[in-house]
Amino acid sequence: MIYTVDFLEIAGKLNYVEIAKYLKDLGWNEVESYPNVKIFQIFSNKILYQADIPLDRKLRDYNSAMLRAVQQIAEFSNKSTEHVLLELLNPLSDIIRFQVKEGTDESGTIKVEDAIKLYENAKKIVTFASMDYLRPSQYHLGRPDSISQELIQNCRFGQTEIGSYIVSLVIPFTKLDEGKLVQMTLFNEEMDKSSSITRNVTDKIITSIQQVKETINNGTFNEMMLPKNEQEHPPPISANFLEALSSIGISKEDSEVDISIKWAPTVKDNRAEINSVSLTNDYYKPIETVVRMIKSKRANEKEFVGRVSKLQATPNAEKRTEGEATIVYLDPDSEKACTAKVLLQKEDYNMAIEAHEKGKPVKVTGKLSGQKSKTIDYRKFEVLESWK
């Protein structure tokens, strides 16, 4: 009875306009429409299913009518009422689920410290998957970029499910529009939704975890994560993502975590071929070891964001193999304008020329040396569209 009351309350929060669009997208037919109700039907295995969608929240039986419709959808979909309610509350969201299989008791509770780590690292996994998608790098320094920060700020945690400890992170669909995130709705075009940053990030999450598992199993994990030439072959997964992955609950003996994706049901394209991956404690040491190796290599590295003030190289562009750029940047500690020189490879030097001509900011990742005359031993050079 307690759960029935809960379901009634939740059903009353559903948006009838979105539910009608949701049903149409899934192939239900609108057979009749009245001022207060729309009737949808669908045939499956010679069975007729009907969902009556109430169109006025002021109706006394709105909650119960909506719940009856949800139960019909659940029966047709062969899913639980709870599952369908979660989908309908978030009709245009991918949902990533983390299920802890060690450390929970019979009631599905978990220690506070373990729960905090799980929630924090679930957020980090989404954040760094976004950064890996937008700007692949072996190791992301400094704060996450503004797009990845905004993406995680739009996410919501769903209720943990009965009988186990499952954290559901709801990721609403957003798209990039002129460098900014824009919220999408069910009424956007299918192509826009399937190519959105949300679908690309959720796809990146599950495929990255599967790739980690497979490469550890076949002995190529270190080769993938520690390439001989990172500038030509940047790893597809960052050490930041790996560190968050290793911290979600697999560090203890006999521990296991299932990570799965509930794809937005109305967005059928650009889905990974897999929906879930399980990681056990067996994968913890390989991941943790590689993360430690990468972080030691990146010790003392910083990101210097500024503008190119001077360029110097051989005048003959065809014979040019490198060039020196002078960067004026804001020191992150003193917040004072500083100058440093960096010797760039040919392709990066050409990018510096373009940035200088167009007045675009640049970001140099590397190690700073020198006192009065500072130089940067760089690993990565990027031209930014705007100063973030």
- Can you tell me whether residue 120 is helix, strand or coil? helix
pLDDT at 130: 96
Provide the mean pLDDT of the chain: 88
**262 φ, ψ (degrees, to nearest 5):** -100, 105
Residue 1: predicted pLDDT: 32
Distance CA 280, CA 269 (A): 30
Report the DSSP pairing between strands 93-100 and 156-157: unpaired
Which residue has better confidence, 387 or 226?
226
pLDDT of residue 164: 64
Which of 100, 127, 380, 114 has the alpha carbon at shortest distance from 243?
Answer: 127
pLDDT, position 8:
86
Q: What percentage of the chain has pLDDT greater than the value 90?
A: 53
Average pLDDT over residues 367-385: 87
In the prediction, which pLDDT does 135 show?
84
Higher local confidence (pLDDT), 273 or 105: 273
Name which residue leads in pLDDT, 143 or 222.
222
- Per-residue pLDDT at 290: 95
DSSP for 359-379 reads T--EEEEEEEE-SSSEEEEEE
Q: What pLDDT band is residue 40 in, cutting at 50, 70 and 90?
A: very high
Per-residue pLDDT, averaged over 351-372, amounts to: 90
pLDDT tens readout for residues 280-299: 999 999 999 999 999 888 87
Q: Does pLDDT of 317 surpass 90?
A: no
For the segment 9-24, the average pLDDT, to the nearest whole number, is 89
- β-pairing, 180-183 vs 37-44, is unpaired
Give dist(CA 189, CA 178) in Å, integer.
18
CA-nearest of 323, 325, 327, 324 to 307 is 327
Domains of the chain: 2-89 (no CATH), 93-297 (no CATH), 302-383 (2.40.50.140)
Give pLDDT, residue 347. Answer: 86
Q: What is the pLDDT of residue 232?
A: 61
175: left (phi over 0), alpha (psi -120 to 50) or beta: beta
DSSP-H helix ranges across the chain: 2-11, 16-25, 62-77, 81-89, 112-134, 146-153, 190-194, 197-218, 221-225, 239-246, 284-297, 346-358
Sign, CA torsion 62/63/67/68: negative
